[in-house]
Amino acid sequence: MPIALVNGVRLGYDEYGTGKPVVMVTGTGAPGRIWRTHQVPALTRAGYRVITLDNRGIPPSDPCPEEFTLHDMAADIAGLIEHLGEDACPIVGYSLGAIAVQELLLARPELVTRAVLMATSGRTDALTAAMTAADLELGDGDGKLPPRFAAYVQALQNLSPRTLNDDEGLRDWLAVFEMSAVDRSAPRGQLGIQLIPDRLRAYRRISTPCLVIGFQDDLVIRPHLSHEVAKSIPGSTYAEIPGCGHYGYLERPAAVNAAITGFLSGRTP
């Protein structure tokens, strides 16, 4: 995996395919490889060179146990684009990654031609604050849950009723979650920056074409929060994918990929 030294931090990234570059930024605690199963193949088939980023705090990027900010994450994305020698390119952000991209659109709009913002928010509501406080408390302990219990909680939080009610499919999801259980103390630095102030008014200054995607059954970032972002960004488009939760890009990849590739090619969903 290539490593870029950006803003004094070593950032891991991967590149797939050839053609026009598109940068993909993940959410809290997630490595860049989450995009490899569904989004990377779809985008490379569409003629893009896909660049996936391991955000600071996620190995092999530097752990950054000290405090860092959303603006640091936005600066990391900008620094990676410049490290790759790109003038400007489209960016796809998901969850916390999308919020970081929104800050990039304000700070360095010249680096982004188009932005897809999935499962995003422009403010912290009561449920997000409660979930983050619980995650921080867990991370400040030993950060570990029994794998089966962690898998069950992850399924309830991130999957749609459509998937939860599919016994055979759910067993596969639970097996994957159990095998890939995350030590919640590892992404400790990312957890606190989920508690953002209300940025919706600031987003009125964004001029980059944006597609905001909400997931109908998302319990982590409820779709009305994503819709608020779309209404705040002038000229943006909002699309809501039915039958999926917070992991909509994994539950309904064909619909998500169609929305992304269509928007990046200039078509409106």
pLDDT tens, position by position, 112-148: 999 999 999 999 999 999 988 888 888 777 667 888 9
What are the residues whose beta carbons fall under 8 Å from the beta carbon of 135, sequence distance 6 or more?
184, 191
Structure tokens at 226: 């994503």
Residue with tokens 């630095």: 189
Interatomic CA distance for residues 235 and 14, integer angstroms: 32
Q: What share of the chain is helix, strand, coil (3-state, %, to 5)?
A: 45, 20, 35
How many C-beta atoms surround the C-beta of residue 79 within 10 A? 19
246 is catalytic: yes
Q: Is the dihedral of CA 106, 212, 95, 82 positive or negative?
A: negative
Q: Which of 14, 72, 95, 217 is catalytic?
A: 95
Assigned CATH for 3-125+197-264: 3.40.50.1820
* Domain residue ranges of the chain, discontinuous segments joined by +: 3-125+197-264
Which residue of the set 62, 135, 217, 218 is catalytic? 218
Q: Is 95 a catalytic residue?
A: yes
24 pLDDT more than 90? yes
265 given a catalytic annotation: no
Tokens, residue 43: 């985008």
**pLDDT digit string, tens, across residues 218-266:** 999 999 999 999 999 999 999 999 999 999 999 999 999 999 999 999 8
User: pTM for this one?
Assistant: 0.94
